[in-house]
Amino acid sequence: MGALLQTISRFASLLFAGLFAGFLVGVLVLEVSLRRFDGSVYTQLQQVALIGLPILASVLLLPALAATGFQVIVGVRSRERTFWLTAVALALLLVALVTTLVVNVPINLAEGGWSVQAPPADWVGLRDRWQVGHAIRTGAALLAFGALGIAAYRRPIAGSR
């Protein structure tokens, strides 16, 4: 039963981390595309995005953190390469979470109250700060996914090799 639980958590960790990283890349592409528009367009799109995207981010990141954390706890005694790769992935996912909470969420909360017709005078600076935070969490998520992928490759599901 323990091996099955480890296999399931390894799969869930890789799946949710990959989906989270892919989601963040999609948002990054959208954000870069928005840079050529004015504050009212940016504000309107952000307010629409704030309806569902934070929920999707949570639905993807929290299971990735939980499954990866479980993998670290289970592997702590072994201290094999797969353990270290998984521990690094967990640290990177935590970087994404902390960046989200410290940089992106406060700006998201502010943007929700902006007027589409008259965004605040410093909207460009806030947008840029949000995008830097987003780039950091996207990079961290992509590196975490890569580390989990290498760990899964190095330690395949029991019976597959």
Q: Quickly tell me which residue has 């981010």 as its tokens.
A: 57
Determine, yes or no, domain membership for 11.
yes
**pLDDT-derived band of residue 155, with 50, 70 and 90 as boundaries?**
low
The closest of 127, 134, 133 to 29, measured between CA atoms, is 134
Could you tell me if residue 128 is inside a domain? Answer: yes
Note the pLDDT tens digit of each residue in 53-107.
999 999 999 999 999 999 999 888 877 788 899 999 999 999 999 999 999 999 9
The pLDDT tens digits for 29-50 are: 999 999 999 999 999 999 999 9
Q: Is residue 100 part of a domain?
A: yes
> pLDDT for 113-143, tens place per residue?
999 999 999 999 999 999 999 999 999 999 9
Residue 81 in any domain: the answer is yes
Rounded to an integer, what distance in angstroms lies between the CA atom of residue 50 and that of residue 34?
Answer: 15
Q: pTM score, two decimals?
A: 0.90
Does residue 161 fall inside a structural domain? no
Question: What's the domain count of the chain?
Answer: 1
Closest CA to 73 of 147, 12, 9: 9
Whether residue 112 is contained in a domain is answered as yes
Domain that holds residue 105: 2-154
